[in-house]
Amino acid sequence: MRLFILFFMIHELLFGALTFATNHQKEIDILKSFDIDSSFLYDKELEKIIKDNRKIYKTKHFFKAMDDAYLFIPMIKNILSNSDVPSEFLFLAMTESYFSTKAYSQKRASGLWQFMPETGRIYGLEINEYIDERRDLVKSTAAAVKYLEKEHKRFGKWYLAALSYNCGGGRVARAIKRAGTDDLSVLLDPKKRYLPKESRRYIRKIIALALLGTDESFLVESEYEFLLNRANAYSVAAVEVQKGESISRIAKILEMPKKDILKLNRQLKYDFVPPNKDKYTIYIPHVKLSQFKQNYKPSNIEQVYVVYRVKSGDSLYKIGKRYGVPYRLIKDFNHLKSNRLSLRQKLIIPVSRPNALKGGRYTVKRGDTLQSIAHTYKLSIKQLKQINHLKGDMIRIGEKLAVYD
């Protein structure tokens, strides 16, 4: 049933109520949205992928992989509808991650849209000790839209933007130059190999998923045909909380399991929001928004959490003294069996707010630059400037900078 609900939801979001239009016409419309000629419907490899995926969708593995999809589809569709990117690019996200914000590849790509760290940062996604915004369902989708719009402007066709998303704009440009055309059927020639095999399959899979999502005969195979008469959506609201806020406290206020809030906020590496930002945006079910507004009040949190990486010469005692925390508390909080520490080991330290920046402040000395300080504390210059709300690159001798090491 879950599979049917998922595909029905996609179908409704893309096309609204069922119409008298033929399924064939809908298939042609799908191809047009990618700037692909209708003749591509008869591509043998595409037909094979559609057939294979019909079988895959009936497996337990697929059910498990798509378990949280209903949480994200409406939000993705909403962001796409407010951009120039066709709504059918929803299926690019499905191809990349099966709508899983926790998806992670061997190549270090992460999130719904499988951004690599470097590309994610280029498109404004923050990745640091506390958060990885490649897993942020809203920000990562906005970044993907920005990338796709840029590539469409470059190549003029949406299928080329999709191919670029997989193998890079440079690779696509070289393929077009070698082929002497941007015609899709030519670029996908398996003998000429203008594009990598993975990319040739990639564009076909996106189209196959889009076609299956509009195939009424496939949808009504289920005994739950009555669901075709109603829409199915899950709405998410963005709310601001204070720095260092605990997700456990939010869960208590909203009277819902903490794990359900964390599902919507996979960008958080821990179950608290970054302590180095004045405010931070998290996502909650829209049905809980009124409850949040009525009951959430920023409090004088006595305790925040700092992530500390062990350096040469550190001991639990020294770290505890630096942050004004008993070393036994650090040991217990991190479930350490002994006092022995490893270089670069991560420790979560519960710190009283007045001491939250102890050990995380650097006093500027003669000859220092933002670049040298950022390098010392393994931060980017952008991160260092953001942490300290600096607009320019000028710093003064004696100035104290937060480094959150």
DSSP state at residue 127: B
Q: Determine which helix (DSSP H) or strand (DSSP E) holds 238, and give its type and residue range.
A: strand 236-242
Which residues of the chain, if any, have pLDDT below 50? 16-20, 222-232, 354-359, 405
∠ CA 82-103-62, nearest 5°, is: 95
Return the pLDDT at 18: 43
Specify the 3-state DSSP secondary structure of 363. Answer: strand
72-124 pLDDT, tens per residue? 888 898 999 999 999 999 999 999 998 889 899 999 999 999 999 999 999 99
Return the pLDDT at 228: 32
User: Residue 389: exposed, middle, or buried by beta-carbon count in 10 A (0-12, 13-18, 19+)?
Assistant: exposed
Write out the two tokens for 51.
């057939």
- Determine the angle formed by the axes of helices 137-155 and 90-97, rounding to 10 degrees: 110
* 244 to 137, 150, 322, 334: CA distances (angstroms): 21, 36, 19, 18
Return the pLDDT at 302: 57
Return the pLDDT at 115: 98
Specify the 3-state DSSP secondary structure of 308. Answer: strand
Domains located in the chain, CATH noted: 2-229 (1.10.530.10), 236-295 (no CATH), 302-350 (3.10.350.10), 360-405 (3.10.350.10)
Residue 346: φ, ψ to 5°: -90, 135
Please choose, from the candidates 234, 76, 70, 72, the residue with its C-alpha nearest in 3D space to the C-alpha of residue 144: 76
∠ CA 390-392-397, nearest 5°, is: 75
Q: Which of 27, 96, 126, 245 is catalytic?
A: 96
Return the pLDDT at 73: 84
Residue 305 pairs with which residues in a beta bridge?
350
Return the pLDDT at 367: 76
Specify the 3-state DSSP secondary structure of 20. Answer: coil
Q: How many residues does the chain have?
A: 405
Q: Alpha-carbon distance 158 to 151, whole Å?
A: 8
Catalytic (active site) residue 96: yes
